[in-house]
Amino acid sequence: MYNSGKIIAGLVVFLVLAMLPFLLNLGKANAKIEPSIDTPEINAMPQKHCVEPKAFMRSEHMQLLNNWRDQVVRNGNRIYVGSDGKEYAISLQNTCMKCHSNKKDFCDKCHNYMAVKPYCWGCHIAPKEKKA
Amino acid sequence: MSMNRRQFLKLASASTILGVGAASVINNISKGSLEAAQIHPDPRALKGKRWGFVVDVSKLTTEEDYQKCMNACHDIHNVPSNPNPRHEVKWIWKDTYEHTFPNTAEDKIMNKELQEKNFLLFCNHCAQPACVRVCPTKATFKRESDGVVMQDMHRCIGCRFCMAACPFGARSFNYTDPRPNIKVENKEFPTRMIGVVEKCTACYERLAIGQQPACAEASNGAIVFGDLEDPNSEVRKLISEKYTIRRKPELGTQPSIYYVIGGGEHA
Amino acid sequence: MLEKALSGSNRYWAWIFFLLAVIGVGCLAYMKQLNEGLGITGLSRDVSWGLYIGQFTFLVGVAASAVMLVIPYYLHDFKKFGKIVILGEFLAVSAVIMCVLFIMADMGQPMRVANILLHPTPGSIVFWDVVVLNGYLLLNLIIGWTTLGADRKGVRPPDWVKPLIYLSIPWAVSIHTVTAFLYAGIPGRHFWLTAVMAARFLASAFAGGPALLILLALLVRKFSKFDPGTEAIQAIGKIVTYAMFANVFLLGLEFFTAFYSNIPGHMHPFHYLYAGIDGHTKLVPLMWLSSILAVVALAILVFPHLRRNENILAFACVALFSSLWIDKGFGLIIGGFVPNMFEGITEYWPTMLETLITMGVWAIGFLLLTVLYKVAIAVREDDTAVEH
Res C118 pLDDT > 60: yes
pLDDT band at C388 (very low <50, low <70, confident <90, very high): very low
For C167-205, the DSSP string reads: HHHHHHHHHHHHHHHHHHT-TT-TTT--TTHHHHHHHHH
Residue of C nearest to B134 (CA): C124
Are B40 and A77 a contacting pair at CB < 8 A?
A: yes
Which residue of B154, B155, B198 is the best one to mutate when testing the A interface, meaning the one whose CB has the most A CBs within 10 A?
A: B154
B253 → closest Cβ in C113, C124, C187: C187
Strands B197-198 and B172-173: antiparallel
C-alpha span between B167 and B76 (Å, rounded)? 26
Q: Please state the rounded mean pLDDT for residues B213-232.
A: 95
Which residue of C341, C345, C348, C351 is the best one to mutate when testing the B interface, meaning the one whose CB has the most B CBs within 10 A?
A: C341
Query: What does chain A come to in residues?
Result: 132
Q: Of B70, B89, B93, B92, which is closest to residue B81 (Cα–Cα)? A: B89
Give the E-state strand segments of chain B in sequence order: 39-40, 51-55, 92-96, 118-122, 140-142, 149-151, 172-173, 197-198, 223-227, 244-245, 257-260
Strands A79-81 and A87-89: antiparallel
Q: Which of residues 210-239 of C touch B (CB under 8 A)?
A: none
Residue B13 lies in a domain: no
Q: Please enumerate residues of A whose Cβ is less than 8 A from a Cβ of B.
A: 60, 63-64, 67, 69, 71, 73-82, 89-90, 93-94, 119, 122-125, 127
Residue of C nearest to B253 (CA): C187
| pLDDT tens-digit series, residues A67-92 | 999 999 999 899 999 888 889 999 99
Q: Please state the rounded mean pLDDT for residues C202-208.
A: 95
C-alpha span between A56 and A47 (Å, rounded)? 18
Q: Please state the rounded mean pLDDT for residues B226-231.
A: 96
Q: Which letter does DSSP use for residue A70 in this model? A: I
C-alpha span between C104 and C111 (Å, rounded)? 9
**Domain housing B126:** 62-219
Question: C336 near C189, Cβ under 8 Å?
Answer: yes
How would you class B113 by CB atoms within 10 Å of its CB: exposed for 0-12, middle for 13-18, buried for 19 or more? exposed
Res C206 pLDDT > 80: yes
Res C258 pLDDT > 50: yes
Are A76 and B145 a contacting pair at CB < 8 A?
A: yes
Task: Calculate what percentage of chain C has a pLDDT beyond 70.
Answer: 98
Strands B51-55 and B257-260: parallel
| pLDDT tens-digit series, residues B109-147 | 888 888 889 999 999 999 999 999 999 999 999 999 999
**Chains interfacing with C (3 or more CB pairs < 8 Å):** B
> Which pLDDT score, from 0 to 100, does residue B108 have?
80
Q: Which long-range contacts (CB under 8 A, 24 or more apart) does B95-104 make?
A: B95/B119, B95/B121, B95/C342, B98/C343, B99/C342, B99/C343, B99/C344, B100/B247, B100/B259, B100/C342, B101/B245, B101/B247, B102/C265, B102/C341, B102/C342, B102/C343, B103/B248, B103/C264, B103/C265
Phi, psi of A9 (to 5 degrees): -60, -45
C-alpha span between B203 and B214 (Å, rounded)? 7
Q: How many CB atoms lie within 10 A of CB B50?
A: 17
Between B26 and C247, the higher pLDDT residue:
C247
Residue of A nearest to B34 (CA): A64
Q: Please state the rounded mean pLDDT for residues C170-195.
A: 94
Q: What type of residue is C116?
A: I
C-alpha span between B19 and B13 (Å, rounded)? 10
pTM, two decimal places: 0.91
A125 → closest Cβ in B37, B38, B190: B190
Question: C240 near C210, Cβ under 8 Å?
Answer: yes
| Residue B102 belongs to domain with CATH number | 3.30.70.20
CB of C135 within 8 Å of any CB in chain B?
no
Res B2 pLDDT > 90: no
Distance from CA of A96 to the nearest CA of B (A): 12
Q: Of A65, A76, A82, A81, which is closest to residue A121 (Cα–Cα)? A: A65
Which residues from chain A sit within 8 angstroms of residue B188, using beta carbons? 93-94
3-state secondary structure at position C165: helix
Q: Please state the rounded mean pLDDT for residues C33-54.
A: 96
Question: C84 near C232, Cβ under 8 Å?
Answer: yes
What residues form DSSP beta bridges with B259? Answer: B55, B245
Neighbouring residues of B52: CB distance < 8 A, sequence distance ≥ 6? B125, B147, B225, B226, B227, B228, B235, B256, B257, B258
Question: C291 near C254, Cβ under 8 Å?
Answer: no
Residue of A nearest to B37 (CA): A81
Residue of A nearest to B146 (CA): A76
pLDDT band at B266 (very low <50, low <70, confident <90, very high): very low
CA C48, distance to chain mean position in Å, is 21
CB of C315 within 8 Å of any CB in chain B?
no
Distances (CA, A) of C211 to B223, C29, C83, C192, C255: 58, 31, 17, 25, 25
Residue B120 lies in a domain: yes
C-alpha span between C29 and A112 (Å, rounded)? 29
Average pLDDT, chain B: 91
Q: Please state the rounded mean pLDDT for residues C330-349.
A: 94
Distance from CA of B219 to the nearest CA of C (A): 24
Q: Please state the rounded mean pLDDT for residues C250-277.
A: 94
> Which pLDDT score, from 0 to 100, does residue B267 have?
39
Query: B–C: how many Cβ contacts below 8 A?
Result: 145
What residues form DSSP beta bridges with B225? Answer: B53
CB of C124 within 8 Å of any CB in chain B?
yes
Distances (CA, A) of C372 to A55, C75, C233, C365: 55, 25, 20, 11
Are A81 and B38 a contacting pair at CB < 8 A?
A: yes
C-alpha span between B223 and B216 (Å, rounded)? 5
Are C187 and B100 a contacting pair at CB < 8 A?
A: no
Residue B82 lies in a domain: yes
> What number of H helices and E strands is found in chain C?
15, 0
| pLDDT tens-digit series, residues A16-62 | 999 998 888 777 766 677 888 888 888 888 888 888 888 888 888 99
How would you class B24 by CB atoms within 10 Å of its CB: exposed for 0-12, middle for 13-18, buried for 19 or more? exposed
Neighbouring residues of B175: CB distance < 8 A, sequence distance ≥ 6? B86, B87, B194, C37, C38, C39, C41, C43, C44
CA A114, distance to chain mean position in Å, is 8
C-alpha span between B159 and C127 (Å, rounded)? 12
> Which pLDDT score, from 0 to 100, does residue A132 have?
44
Are C187 and B168 a contacting pair at CB < 8 A?
A: no
> What is the homologous superfamily of the domain C2-381 according to CATH?
Formate dehydrogenase/DMSO reductase domain (1.20.1630.10)
Question: C384 near C149, Cβ under 8 Å?
Answer: no
What is the Cβ-side half-sphere exposure of residue A21, based on CA atoms within 13 angstroms? 2
Measured over the CA atoms of residue B198, residue B162, residue B151 and residue B57, the dihedral's sign is positive
| pLDDT tens-digit series, residues C135-159 | 999 999 999 889 988 988 889 999 9
Which residues from chain A sit within 8 angstroms of residue B154, using beta carbons? 69, 73
C-alpha span between C224 and B205 (Å, rounded)? 67
Neighbouring residues of C142: CB distance < 8 A, sequence distance ≥ 6? C161, C164
Q: Which of residues 267-306 of C touch B (CB under 8 A)?
A: none
C-alpha span between C299 and C179 (Å, rounded)? 30
Overall number of domains in chain B = 1
> Which pLDDT score, from 0 to 100, does residue C51 have?
96
Cis link prior to C157 (omega < 30° from 0)? no
Which residue of C40, C271, C340, C342 is the best one to mutate when testing the B interface, meaning the one whose CB has the most B CBs within 10 A?
A: C342
Q: What type of residue is B163?
A: M
Q: What angle do CA C10, C12, C13 make, to 5 degrees?
A: 65
